[in-house]
Structure 1
Amino acid sequence: MGATRVLIIANPAAGTVTPALVWELVRVCRSGVRDVSVRWTTGPGEATGIARKAAESAPPSVAERALALPTAMSATVSAAAPARRTVVVAVGGDGTVREVAAGLASAWRGAGPTPLLIVPAGTANSCYHTLFGTAPWQSVVSSALREPVVRWLDLARVAGRLVFAGASAGISPRAIHEARALTSHVGPSRYHAALVDLIPRYRPYPGRVTVDDRLIHSGSTLLVNVGGSRYRGGHFELLPRSLPDDGLLDVCVLGGEHSVAEMMELTRTGAHLSRPGVVYERGRRVRIERTDGRPLWFEHDGEVLPLGPTEYTVDVVPAAVPALATPSLTAAA
């Protein structure tokens, strides 16, 4: 049974969100769902509250209502009452998706799971790329609403915050920070332009990385990437072996002995794993440190955390949020 209600949560501050895009999304949704509504966010964190409220106010499914009734009545309800499912669509970048996912993951589930669907309209859109590749969002939305398949995706937790796409230390947060000033660019080109400008100036940092208390790296560090998403920065396949629902965090460490430009090019196709000094591991807890006492540049879901700490610990949160996938992609996974 497909969705019967769609709530669109759109972030007007995200890279490529426009009223025209949201209206096109409404049109696509209404081709199969009558009850479609839109909420525009007005500030950071608001999407979490909107998503949580939507999940907690979703009507119970047929099966859940039937369980609460005597046997004879439950059979009548199952036959006569159509199943209802609310789907929450996040329109924005990885930060917007993270906020919506956090709201759905923290909601009281007495009314059943409320799944997430992503429409990419940010700077990087790594979450969408990981789940749907390069498929146009219009076809993904139509297919997912018509034949919904729910996958329970893992999240992570760092510094008391939930993480969706992933987290990183090193050159990535520096590039994200500098991309904010490139107002002449929009979408993924903004991040890529910041990287091109930063590469000649960037210097690796002395660091240490442990996975489930096992030391996997110590020394000069170009980049550490942690998460369930295969892609970061839009199209950099830093974690090519990662699955978003295997209950583990994938970790990739690029040593500082490598050329920044070369490694950034290799990560576009996952070819960096064949280079010496590149470490790839899996685990449930990852500790990332800077060992010279200086602040560690660190981000998650495209948001750079305030400078100060010299280390961060990332923990997996297995099967934390339901998300819609298309039948073909689910079979391929």
Structure 2
Amino acid sequence: MTAKIILNPYAGRWKAQAAIPDIERACKELGLDYELVVTEGPGHGIELAREALLAGYSPIVAAGGDGSISEVVNGMLAATSGRRPEVPLGIIPLGSADDLADQLGLPKDIVAACRVILEGCERLIDLGRVNGRYFDNNSAVGLEPMVTVTQERMQRVKGTPRYVLAAVRTILVHRPWRMRLVWDDGEYEGETTLVSVGNMRRTGGAFYMTPRAEPDDGLLDFVFAGGMGRLRLLRLLPTTFDGSHIDQPEVRYARTTRLTIECDPPTPIQADGELFDRSATRIVYEVIPSALRVLVPSPAP
């Protein structure tokens, strides 16, 4: 079979573009049959992945960061009308955060990553879906996607420091939302600062928003915080680096198969770090158990 490598050249601040010769060299040295295509803009990875799966390529490989992987995942599920693809996803991590790759134990070295694509084993993971958009790692409404809006405007700072600085800037100007949340065994209504939903534990390279999440338990973990002042939020921020924010009195943590949120004023939504709706008033999350095969390193003998 021929692997289709879908590469986002902008990932990692053009790191992915520079990595193309190394990827091609590694594939040839390992004897991996492949075709490499480059995305041309937002959303193009979805189209390329859908076309590749329908054309019979296997595996479908995302080369880029978490947003690039998310586009490929959405394209694969689009090709199967939401059913679990028989073709696995391969990953060459080239992003700034690489949250999904880290949490699945994938190597960042290009040769090692290509070897996993050739020789690795398949692992079934769950996916989340929010208002029709699939996510493999994390999605959020409220403060967290506002951080994404802020960091989009920050061109000089790179990597994890960019996310942290954007979070501080956003907190300094934020105002809470009025939200109603309903999940499997609970509900809440009141002032809300953030809601973060995780299929895995970390987002943004540093923030363990859902530190108890597992990608194959058939559940989505979520955390939400009531209304609080800017100073309290700034003090809460460092606790997200190790997940201890969930022990704070203003924060609640739960697991569910479905979460419905009604919000006023409207909130943006991010999925795997990418904004796809900037003004939502009703948000529906649901888990899709065992939705995707991912190539991961084979266990040591």
Question: Same fold judged by TM-score > 0.5?
Answer: yes
| C-alpha contact (below 8 Å) 2:59/2:87 kept by paired residues | yes
| C-alpha contact (below 8 Å) 1:289/1:296 kept by paired residues | no
Letter in 2 for 1:241: R
Q: 1:27 to 1:262 in 2, by over 3 A?
A: farther
Query: 1:250 — aligned with what?
Result: 221
Q: Shift of the alpha carbon at 1:16?
A: 2.8
CA–CA distance in structure 1, aligned partners of residues 2 and 75 of structure 2: 18
Match of 1:323 among 294, 297, 300: 294
Letter in 2 for 1:8: I
- TM-score computed with the length of structure 1 as normaliser: 0.79
CA–CA distance in structure 1, aligned partners of residues 171 and 228 of structure 2: 14
Mean Cα deviation higher: 10-19 or 229-238? 10-19
Match runs of 1:1-333 below 5 Å: 5-17=2-14, 18-58=16-56, 86-108=58-80, 113-132=86-105, 135-138=107-110, 140-212=112-184, 214-215=186-187, 217-257=188-228, 259-290=232-263, 293-328=264-299
Letter in 2 for 1:141: A
Q: Secondary structure at the match of 1:288?
A: strand
Q: Identity of counterpart residues, as a percentage?
A: 32
CA–CA distance in structure 2, aligned partners of residues 24 and 52 of structure 1: 26
Q: Shift of the alpha carbon at 1:10?
A: 0.9
Q: 1:327 to 1:199 in 2, by over 3 A?
A: same
Letter in 2 for 1:43: G
- TM-score computed with the length of structure 2 as normaliser: 0.87
Query: 1:75 — aligned with what?
Result: none
If you compute each CA radius of gyration, which structure gives the higher value, 1 or 2? 1
Q: Shift of the alpha carbon at 1:150?
A: 0.7
Q: Shift of the alpha carbon at 1:141?
A: 0.9
CA–CA distance in structure 1, aligned partners of residues 40 and 225 of structure 2: 38
| C-alpha contact (below 8 Å) 2:236/2:245 kept by paired residues | yes
Q: Shift of the alpha carbon at 1:143?
A: 4.8
| C-alpha contact (below 8 Å) 1:104/1:321 kept by paired residues | no
Letter in 2 for 1:173: P
User: Whose strand proportion is higher, 1 or 2?
Assistant: 2
Mean Cα deviation higher: 220-229 or 137-146? 137-146
Structure 1, unpaired ranges of 5+: 60-85
Q: 1:229 to 1:44 in 2, by over 3 A?
A: same
Q: Secondary structure at the match of 2:76?
A: helix
Q: 1:306 to 1:53 in 2, by over 3 A?
A: closer
Q: 1:103 to 1:261 in 2, by over 3 A?
A: same
Letter in 1 for 2:163: Y
Structure 2, unpaired ranges of 5+: none
Tell me the matched-pair count: 296
Q: Secondary structure at the match of 2:37?
A: strand
